Structure 1
């Protein structure tokens, strides 16, 4: 074999080693008396085989930043090439858990070495404005708490091998779809409108608890050969069957036969209803997710009414939150869908107004 025929298989693996420290300033108002360029610093702490120190400048490191505090990490040990992820979390001491988090990935760590400190430094020259409107959340009993975390990333080459065997992705869904389309081994017929769909009881039972009970439950009939399905369009039932066999969301525009959004929305809603009928939770959630992506001020009231009708609880909650937002509510109430909501869904309208009232009082 000539060298051009040889194949090598290798990969680069990144490992991260973390280190952290908690930096507490117990007399924050006193720290404000420091001059620009003066700092408070932590003890050295290890991360990724290196020593680090955290520096905090209450009145900024340079005069142009004097309205802000500055925060820096300093590399204390010798290093030729270090890659690190920095995270600095300002603790919310109000108890609401709304911590202020700053992150950054840096390749060289060089932010211009500062001569009064050893080694390289990286940080935020305008970390936090000293008259921040929500400063009271972060300062309690004149104390400020900062959590400092450094993740040092190291790359290594792994698995250098001569020759490799390519493994294709799973094609189980395609194989099962081919089995469904061929009709091979089918043992149940579904009469849906004017169409007949053949399927396999065991596969249906494995995917749907409704089919499992219908075929193999205590009062089920495993010998049944035909089931008449009412109130489901044949195209929707076929799309549901395809999902059962492939676990892939169907092509909605192909089913709708039109690129029109309202037609696609109607298909997804009916598919969600079929998924709910047969307890196909993943398909129902996928439908809710697709519909949630299309929520707009013009459509939200209509979608809310339909979500309530089809028992799409997550989509309904999303619509309520969107419509009740004070920034959206006025325009939503002017939409045609809101008039539909007033006339046909009084209970849902009450839920919307209650949600809007709660948002206003926050």
Structure 2
């Protein structure tokens, strides 16, 4: 199903993409977004500060959501090319945070007046063929793994062993959290906030021609990497790939393969969603008995990442720490191949000097 304007407007990351895309096209709008976002940021005057001039912190002009909406209304929207779509999506991905409240610009995009003003932007983006791949299934003939900054990709255990250990770790953490952590979700406590499969499993993404694999750019909570090697990965014929193409698919995963994580997730996931209640995530060890891989479409990410997804009565889940278009492989036969292609970060863009 093609992505729609309503889908882009319904999620935190989708709205942030629209706001970033619009602001990149107009300097006065970008300044207003920064100012209004700063005013709304929960960490304002604490960890977030505003700088003006040559490094001097000053109050500066105040912008409001109404001012941002007015500028959006008069904005001439440029054509959306693949490079712009990728760089803007990367900004929205980097801004994701699941261990505290949404930041000021996320909150700005969610205000009724700005959200309404973004409807025109959403229609413009959804109508572009550039974003067709956002709702596409796994690109079976074009998958690539990214190895960051000289790290190795060699596995030290089988996938089955790793998933068995992972499940035991989650169950043990839940047991300890039930007694060691406060039951009040508003208590200032943080733990493991992600819900993706173990990060040491092979995970891949599609390539986009000269832009390279999207996994180079679409990275949540990145570590500031400046070098990487990408390897093509062969997808076995008949591989059983589960498509997470929306919140309903994630909820179904959690219902069919439930793993309760309320005590260990309640503080972080309350902070990011405001929801109080029980939490679950998919039991990836059980999923691996039926599926060879799980692919998260960018459309599903933009709609659902960071939201409280209803699973059953009183139970919800969060997609967190899983990058758009990323596929996690639950079998041993999918591994990076060949010498790979070297990439370096050059002025905020990834380039392959030898290509």
Verify same fold: TM over 0.5.
no
TM-score by length of 2: 0.20
Which structure exhibits the higher relative contact order, with contacts defined as CA atoms closer than 8 Å and separated by 6 or more residues?
Answer: 2
Between Structure 1 and Structure 2, whose CA radius of gyration is higher?
Answer: 1
